[in-house]
Chains A and B, each alone.
With several copies, the nearest count.
Chain A
Amino acid sequence: MGMLIIIDQPPYGTWAGREALDMAFALAAFDQPTSLLFTGAGVNWLRKAQDTADIEQKSLEKNLAAAPIFGIEAILADRTACQRYNLNSEAMIDGVQLTNASADLLGQYSQTAFAG
């Protein structure tokens, strides 16, 4: 059981994914079992070597790297979405489990939420 937070928007262009990550961290801080699922264009969060100096935003790659330390149980990514965005395992940050965003997957969690 536990809670699944879904991120389906890419980083930087909108704040929705960032605020979804905050939700996941808050759940983990209260010892709630929590996983993250990246799907659709949201899988672009998982690309290595994000350099945000020129757009003056914090690197979300670094934020996400803190997820295991905060107690997030799993970082999941939809396999089809990764293929669509040409994101192979070499280009991907460590610690991501490939999966299929499906009824079976969502059925494993008691609650599922987007940030917006």
Chain B
Amino acid sequence: MTHSTPDSEKTSFTLVITGAPYSSQAPQTALSFAKATVAAGHTIDRVFLYGDGVHLASALVTAPSDETHWPKQWAAFLEEHEVPGVACIASALRRGLVDSHEQKRYQLGANNLLAPFAIAGLGEWVEGSIKSTRTIYFHAGA
């Protein structure tokens, strides 16, 4: 859990989003930050969705036609830059966000996880906070 200095060979980030889209500004602030990160030549190791942030990975969001569709914007960014996007499994299950695996496991009527997001445990966050140069949190404001 030691930090590299900025002049180290490879500077990398883990981004953690805990605020939901269309409720907080967190996902959009995080996306602007993420774009600036890759534009500066840094690596994003992983984007981790926690708490209400898991709603960003919903495949069923329909944004009004004159509003930005934040889940799709994020999904496109993750695909373009091959960044893993992970929703915390405990947060996701409680909030009704499931992939096909969890759908079967809990015998639910549907799944609603937007690709390329995946569902995984807090270990992914722990790993990010150990290995990345910086872990930056994007919480809901107020």
Residue in A9, A58, A110 whose beta carbon sits within 8 Å of that of B142 in the complex: A9
Annotate B49-65 by CB proximity to A: 1 below 8 A, 0 otherwise: 01111000000000000
A16 to B50, CA, bound (A): 10
Interface 9-residue window, one of B38-46, B79-87, B98-106, B122-130? B122-130
Q: Are B126 and A15 in contact (CB under 8 A)?
A: no
A26 to B140, CA, bound (A): 22
Q: Tell me the nearest residue of chain A to B22, going by C-beta.
A: A15
**Chain B 72-125 residues near chain A, CB threshold 8 A:** 90-91, 121-123, 125
**Distance (Å) between the CB of A26 and the closest chain B CB?**
4
A57 close to B (CB within 8 Å):
yes
Q: Are B123 and A30 in contact (CB under 8 A)?
A: yes
**Extra 17 A-B pairs, beta carbons < 8 Å, given A13-B142, A116-B139:** A19-B51, A22-B122, A26-B122, A29-B126, A32-B1, A32-B126, A32-B130, A55-B25, A57-B28, A57-B67, A58-B66, A113-B137, A115-B18, A115-B51, A116-B50, A116-B51, A116-B53
Q: Are A57 and B141 in contact (CB under 8 A)?
A: no
A34 to B121, CA, bound (A): 18
Q: Which residues of B contact A114 (CB under 8 A)?
A: 18, 137, 139
Annotate A1-34 by CB proximity to B: 1 below 8 A, 0 otherwise: 1110000010011111001001100110110110
Q: Are A13 and B50 in contact (CB under 8 A)?
A: no
Would you list the 10 A-B pairs with minimal beta carbon distance, nearest first?
A26-B122, A13-B141, A116-B18, A116-B51, A30-B126, A56-B68, A13-B25, A19-B51, A15-B23, A110-B1
Q: Are A115 and B50 in contact (CB under 8 A)?
A: yes
Q: Which residues of B contact A12 (CB under 8 A)?
A: 25
Q: Are B19 and A116 in contact (CB under 8 A)?
A: yes
Chain A residues with CB under 8 Å of chain B are: 1-3, 9, 12-16, 19, 22-23, 26-27, 29-30, 32-33, 55-58, 110-111, 113-116
Q: Which residues of B contact A57 (CB under 8 A)?
A: 28, 67-68
Among B23, B52, B121, B129, find the residue whose CB has the most chain A CB atoms closer than 10 A. Answer: B129
Q: Which residues of B contact A13 (CB under 8 A)?
A: 24-25, 141-142
B135 close to A (CB within 8 Å):
yes
B10 close to A (CB within 8 Å):
no
